[in-house]
A and B are shown apart, each in its own frame.
Chain A
Amino acid sequence: MKNQSRRRFASVTGVALVGTLALTACGSDNNATVTPGASGTTTAASDCPTGTLNGEGSSAQKNAIEQAISDFQAACSGATVNYNPTGSGAGIKQFIAGQVDFAGSDSALKDKPAAGATNIEQADADKACGSPAWNLPMVTGPIAVAYNVKGVDKLILTPAVTARIFNGVIKTWNDPAIAAINPGVKLPAQAIKVFFRSDESGTTDNFTKYLKAAAASDWPTEPGKKWTGKGEGKEKSAGVANAVKATDGGVTYAEWSYAKDNKLGIAQIDNGSGPVELTGESVGKAVTAATQTGQGNDLKLKLDYATKEAGAYPILLVTYEIVCSKSKSKDSAKAPLTTAFLKSFAAADMQTKLQTIGYAPLPAEIQAKVTTAIDALS
């Protein structure tokens, strides 16, 4: 009997301790550097409709949209914007199903059916809206080729060499192919450890699109969200960035912010007209060089990954906000809110601010088009 009560006491203590731990161990999944109560928004008080706006989709733009939301809500106390970063595919699905007011996606709605499917995203979205769905480029996310090699502060890569590193043809850092384009850099005789995204991601999609476009002969496989090169797979951007940080000789591709936050080396890319460093400006040049494939205010862009324009950093992804050009009748009250939020997101000062958290601002030309499109929403 004594034994019994002892055990009961033990289990009570256990439960109590467990409870405490559960409370203190609540999840934290943020790499966002969102500063609440933001400063310097231009949204005038008169542009402040009230209500709730729900969005879902790309996690690549998570930090950017969280920043935009927190600034917007600080300026407009009656407005609530929710964004659920579940992935582009999920966002588009929810948008078509009418569950959310806008979708975030790291690729525009497709005009052709996806492999293994018969439906066309753009047509489905248009039908769900009852009006054309517009793809508005909003956030530019440069992809850094991030490396960790002791003693190498500056590294220049060409598309061909990058492709051969990432499909395992070049195996050591002092390979003649790397040395030839990096004169004066002392490269160690160390094995190259490639890390890739094990989850399907828009980052992989855009990076392999770049390799395919700029170095087709060295990157034979078709681009896609799933990695087709070599290396070790890690979960999400944080996983690959941490792995490179912990591995001498490691290299990966990741959003700019992850490379910066982990203090990894970022390679300069030479597409044929000299090495280009990754900066907000050099990325902007590449976005300007993109061609618009959507009609009118549908700003679907086609990036030119192989661009030879001087000073343009070619590896990037553009995330879109996908909205109905005419809001559904039941949602007509939300239209002013959508307009106000997107406008504050596209505003020049917000775009500049995004640079501090690892995104590149939209170049002025595109930004003007986006603003025009937002004004045309109804």
Chain B
Amino acid sequence: MPSSTAVSAADELPNPKGPGPFLKDRVTAGTGRLGDRLFGGTARGAGVLVIAMVTLIAVFLLSQALPALAKDNVNFLTSTAWNVDGTPLQFGIANLLWVTVLSSAIAMLIAVPLGVGVALFITQYAPIWLSRTAASLVDLLAAVPSIVYGLWGLQVLGTHMDGVQAALQSLFGWFPLFSDAGIGAASTILTVSVVLSIMVLPIVTALSREVFAQTPTSHTDAALALGATRWEMIRTAVLPFGKPGVISASMLGLGRALGETVAVMVILSALANDTSWSWSMFNGGETFASKIANNAAEFDTPQKAGAFMAAGLVLFLLTFLVNAIARVVIERRKAFIE
């Protein structure tokens, strides 16, 4: 679902040659032949279908969520309560929202610099044989099922997180984000973030790689001819050219991180009722997606299903918002480049 609304890299690439000569005629250029009309119709149909699907998902979420929201006895956005079984019906998403946003944000902080670095290495530094292998290997990461990431995170990575957590806490323990929350180090938001960052790495890398590879040679040659070093050439020619691509790659990755379900569910410890609020990245909790998935088997009343759907609706809107912001950023960048 997140990817259906995500900004794709391809449609945002500034065309180095400028708009094609026939572009402005594209509506009227049809010859009226059967093949032409068939293809045009199919393409149009595909476009309409995607829009219809997204709209229908939104309608479904709204129709399920609204009746439950109307009966909610606490503030939906600021409460941390989740009692959907009986009366009074109480559910709020404050905790879900925080855990979802924090885990994805940390994941992006790790994945974007790393992914851009890998993409630069593959396109600018590596010899051909190595760049080919490295690219396939990074792509392979995308093919690992998320349950495998989850189990690996819990049973392998998690056992090494004790030291990381202790080190971070001794340095920054005074800051609420790093305070101790009494959750096992294998099951914290930070562990989830590290795993998420590996999961989004192939998305960020693959798209950034494609964009960097398309940097016009005239730009790079010009930079080098003016006496720029390799790094200066990258900074002045490759990175500015690739920036919109990197941003849209990050947004796609962020969509994945926000919506990731199984790996989060396996790794992260849920919190007991009435646990006091903590800002810490060493806390447990649940994300929107993991909470819905974890409880989907027991949606036995409409109000309960509605409460979870309301949470799903927020995730939907969150992804939508993130993508909208990304579009604005990309549009503004484009103005600078052209």
CB-CB < 8 A to A228: which residues of B? Answer: 272-273
Interface residue A89 (Cβ < 8 Å from any Cβ of B): yes
**Chain B, residue nearest A194 (CB):** B272
**Cβ contact within 8 Å between A224 and B272:** no
Interface residues of B in 136-176 (CB under 8 A from A): 136, 139-140, 142-145, 147-148, 154-155, 159
Q: How far is the CA of A22 from the CA of B144 in the complex (A)?
A: 7
**Cβ contact within 8 Å between A232 and B183:** yes
- Cross-chain pairs A/B with CB under 8 angstroms, 24 sampled: A7-B135, A18-B142, A21-B143, A25-B148, A89-B297, A90-B298, A116-B86, A117-B300, A117-B302, A198-B294, A199-B298, A200-B295, A200-B297, A226-B85, A232-B184, A232-B270, A232-B284, A234-B270, A235-B265, A235-B294, A242-B154, A243-B187, A243-B269, A246-B159
Interface residues of A in 226-266 (CB under 8 A from B): 226-235, 239, 242-243, 246-247
Mark B271-284 against chain A: 1 for CB-CB distance below 8 A, else 0. Answer: 11100000000001
Q: A6-B132, A232-B272 are in contact. List 7 more A-B contacts (CB 8 A).
A: A11-B139, A13-B136, A25-B145, A114-B300, A116-B85, A235-B266, A243-B187
Interface residues of B in 216-266 (CB under 8 A from A): 265-266
Mark A75-115 against chain B: 1 for CB-CB distance below 8 A, else 0. Answer: 00000000000111110110000000000000000000011
CB-CB < 8 A to A22: which residues of B? Answer: 143
Interface residue A27 (Cβ < 8 Å from any Cβ of B): yes
**Chain B, residue nearest A85 (CB):** B297
Shortest B115–chain A CB gap in Å is: 16
Q: How far is the CA of A151 from the CA of B303 in the complex (A)?
A: 48
**Cβ contact within 8 Å between A233 and B284:** yes
Shortest A250–chain B CB gap in Å is: 9
Interface residue B128 (Cβ < 8 Å from any Cβ of A): yes
Whether A199 touches B294, Cβ cut-off 8 Å, given contacts A10-B135, A227-B272, is yes
**Cβ contact within 8 Å between A233 and B270:** yes
CB-CB < 8 A to A88: which residues of B? Answer: 298
**Cβ contact within 8 Å between A233 and B144:** no
CB-CB < 8 A to B304: which residues of A? Answer: 116
CB-CB < 8 A to A87: which residues of B? Answer: 297-298
Best-surrounded residue of B184, B273, B298 (most CB of chain A within 10 A): B298
**Cβ contact within 8 Å between B136 and A10:** yes
Q: How far is the CA of A10 from the CA of B271 in the complex (A)?
A: 45
Interface residue A333 (Cβ < 8 Å from any Cβ of B): no
**Cβ contact within 8 Å between A21 and B140:** yes
**Chain B, residue nearest A247 (CB):** B184
CB-CB < 8 A to B28: which residues of A? Answer: none
Residue among B86, B144, B303 making CB contact with A21, cutoff 8 Å: B144
Q: How far is the CA of A76 from the CA of B208 in the complex (A)?
A: 58
- The count of chain A contact residues (Cβ–Cβ below 8 Å) is 49
Q: How far is the CA of A225 from the CA of B299 in the complex (A)?
A: 12
Shortest B223–chain A CB gap in Å is: 18
**Cβ contact within 8 Å between A193 and B184:** yes
Interface residue A152 (Cβ < 8 Å from any Cβ of B): no
**Cβ contact within 8 Å between A233 and B85:** no
Q: How far is the CA of A87 from the CA of B294 in the complex (A)?
A: 11
Shortest A273–chain B CB gap in Å is: 32
Interface residue B87 (Cβ < 8 Å from any Cβ of A): yes
**Cβ contact within 8 Å between A199 and B132:** no
**Cβ contact within 8 Å between B87 and A6:** no
Interface residue A17 (Cβ < 8 Å from any Cβ of B): yes
Interface residue B301 (Cβ < 8 Å from any Cβ of A): yes
Whether A233 touches B136, Cβ cut-off 8 Å, given contacts A25-B144, A87-B298, is no
Interface residue B89 (Cβ < 8 Å from any Cβ of A): yes
CB-CB < 8 A to B184: which residues of A? Answer: 193, 232, 243, 246-247
Shortest A198–chain B CB gap in Å is: 3
Shortest B85–chain A CB gap in Å is: 6
**Chain B, residue nearest A113 (CB):** B301
**Cβ contact within 8 Å between A196 and B272:** yes
**Cβ contact within 8 Å between A14 and B135:** yes
**Cβ contact within 8 Å between B295 and A199:** yes
CB-CB < 8 A to B269: which residues of A? Answer: 198, 232-234, 243
CB-CB < 8 A to A93: which residues of B? Answer: 300
Shortest B153–chain A CB gap in Å is: 13
Whether A17 touches B136, Cβ cut-off 8 Å, given contacts A27-B147, A117-B301, A225-B85, is yes
Interface residue B186 (Cβ < 8 Å from any Cβ of A): yes
**Cβ contact within 8 Å between B140 and A116:** no
**Cβ contact within 8 Å between B132 and A227:** no
Q: How far is the CA of A59 from the CA of B132 in the complex (A)?
A: 46
CB-CB < 8 A to A232: which residues of B? Answer: 183-184, 187, 269-272, 284
Q: How far is the CA of A344 from the CA of B301 in the complex (A)?
A: 34
CB-CB < 8 A to B186: which residues of A? Answer: 246
**Chain A, residue nearest B135 (CB):** A10
Mark A1-45 against chain B: 1 for CB-CB distance below 8 A, else 0. Answer: 001001101110110011001100101000000000000000000
**Cβ contact within 8 Å between A116 and B132:** no
Residue among B147, B266, B272, B297 making CB contact with A229, cutoff 8 Å: B272
Whether A89 touches B147, Cβ cut-off 8 Å, given contacts A14-B135, A18-B140, A234-B269, is no
Interface residue B286 (Cβ < 8 Å from any Cβ of A): yes
Residue among B89, B132, B272, B303 making CB contact with A230, cutoff 8 Å: B272
**Cβ contact within 8 Å between B294 and A116:** no
Q: How far is the CA of A246 from the CA of B156 in the complex (A)?
A: 11
CB-CB < 8 A to B144: which residues of A? Answer: 21, 25
Interface residue B213 (Cβ < 8 Å from any Cβ of A): yes
The 10 closest A-B pairs by CB, nearest first: A233-B270, A87-B297, A198-B270, A115-B86, A89-B300, A232-B269, A14-B139, A18-B143, A200-B298, A14-B136
**Cβ contact within 8 Å between B139 and A92:** no
Best-surrounded residue of A6, A25, A196, A232 (most CB of chain B within 10 A): A232
CB-CB < 8 A to B140: which residues of A? Answer: 14, 17-18, 21
Q: How far is the CA of A226 from the CA of B143 in the complex (A)?
A: 35
Q: How far is the CA of A91 from the CA of B317 in the complex (A)?
A: 32
**Cβ contact within 8 Å between A198 and B87:** no
CB-CB < 8 A to B266: which residues of A? Answer: 235, 239
